[in-house]
Amino acid sequence: MNNQLPPYPMIGECYQMLSVALGTKNSNRGVDRWAREGDFNWALVPKLKNELIKRPLAEKTDEPFADYVLAQLEMTSDIYLQLVKKCALDAMARAEVIPLLVEQLFVPTLASFLVNLSQGIDGPSIVDFSNPDQEPFDKVFCWLEECLDIEPQSLDQHLYPTSVGNDKNGREALKRWRKGKQKPDLVSVCSIAELTVIRFPTARLIVTDLKKWLLVARAVKYFEGEAKAYIDLREAVFRELLTGVKPRDIGKALSYANIEKSERLATLIKPGLMLSDRLRRNVPKQPGEQLEIEKEIQNFESMLIEHDKDGLATYYLNWMKGRWRILVGDYDTAIDYYEAAVDQALYRAGQAQKKILQEGLVLAAKLQRMPLYKRLKHRALVFDMAVIDPPSKSQVAQPDELMLWANNFDLIFPCHGRFGEDSSE
């Protein structure tokens, strides 16, 4: 069974991709770790939002644009996290999920972003800007040429009047941008805006909007390349703009897709549900059930090896193994299974994520595993899962909180639901 990426891209991956698209990432190692390790530090999220989005956009354009981009991002993140928490995709691989997310979430979000932006600032026609037969950078420069009242396709001659040295390099770079062969970085975007003001002093008011549209064009081109294997992004956005941005039931579309894909795991569904039923935490266990269920877990694992080559349901196996270990009193072994189950379930298991996190947290607290408890709590906080109290201003978890959760262990795993005597007591 393979150790693979979860079907939903992690929030850190999304922020990393956006910062690369905008050219604001630079050498930020925090977002790289966020993308690589997942939600390892709840407290870093607002800091990284400021470093990657708010501050660079405000410095290079203006505060309203930075606030607009961040507000749109946070709104989309909230919608996305609700999907992740409620809609399980435990029968799908990431390559199967990405096309649906792009079509159902990203395309209408990008179209709405462009509509709202065009209503707030001056700029090119968003229909022309999104037309797959046109180049976004070219449409931005065409708009600038209209504002400057100069001939179409003559901007390079005005900005770089000679054909040698730096002027030659500038002309060639501008032509590459207009043809879509290269994306300007953030420094180049600011440089061409500054040069525009030098050559056209009356254009000072429009160059701020110029920078905004060039950054948006850069992001669109980047995302277009990333989505190329799944969808023609600009064609989809273009079609969305022409027909109107329609509301979608994204959760319904994802759920239907997951149900359809679950047919290939059909042989695992019944034994998996039976395991969950027999391992219910608050149901008394009968004599002999401990060994019976242990054999069922072993059989289920064998079935996964045969029928689930991609390891889509590995989180569930580890969850059931961990719960069985708790019910026999083997907490030290159980915690290893829960740690693995949490890692594998997040961005995959829908509403089961909350249950696995809750059980993992209470077990980590009982064993006084503060580092693991903190790691699990960070993840619960990022997902806004109401399984724990919010952290104090000084630290994410405190010893008295750990003791409180340790004392709640018997509420989560009552004695009457365990197998015989709890050997760890």
How does pLDDT run along the chain (425 residues), one tens digit per residue? 445 789 999 999 999 999 999 999 988 889 999 898 888 887 788 899 999 999 999 999 999 999 999 999 999 999 999 999 999 999 999 999 999 999 999 999 999 999 999 999 999 999 999 999 999 999 999 999 999 999 999 999 999 999 899 999 999 999 999 999 999 999 999 999 999 999 999 998 899 999 999 999 999 999 999 999 999 999 999 999 999 888 889 999 999 999 999 999 999 999 999 999 999 999 999 999 999 999 999 999 999 999 999 999 999 999 999 999 999 999 999 999 999 999 999 999 999 999 999 999 999 999 999 999 989 988 888 777 665 555 554 566 788 888 888 888 999 999 999 997 444 43
Does the residue 357 lie in any domain? yes
Does the residue 221 lie in any domain? yes
One domain, residues 297 and 401: yes
One domain, residues 296 and 385: yes
Q: Which domain holds residue 218?
A: 126-243
Domain count across the chain: 2
One domain, residues 233 and 304: no
One domain, residues 231 and 277: no
Does the residue 146 lie in any domain? yes
One domain, residues 337 and 226: no
One domain, residues 324 and 292: yes
One domain, residues 278 and 174: no
Does the residue 345 lie in any domain? yes
| pTM reported for the whole predicted model | 0.90
One domain, residues 287 and 344: yes
Does the residue 404 lie in any domain? yes
Does the residue 387 lie in any domain? yes
One domain, residues 232 and 339: no
Does the residue 93 lie in any domain? no
One domain, residues 237 and 287: no
One domain, residues 210 and 297: no
One domain, residues 232 and 273: no
Separation of alpha carbons 25 and 340, rounded Å: 31
Does the residue 102 lie in any domain? no
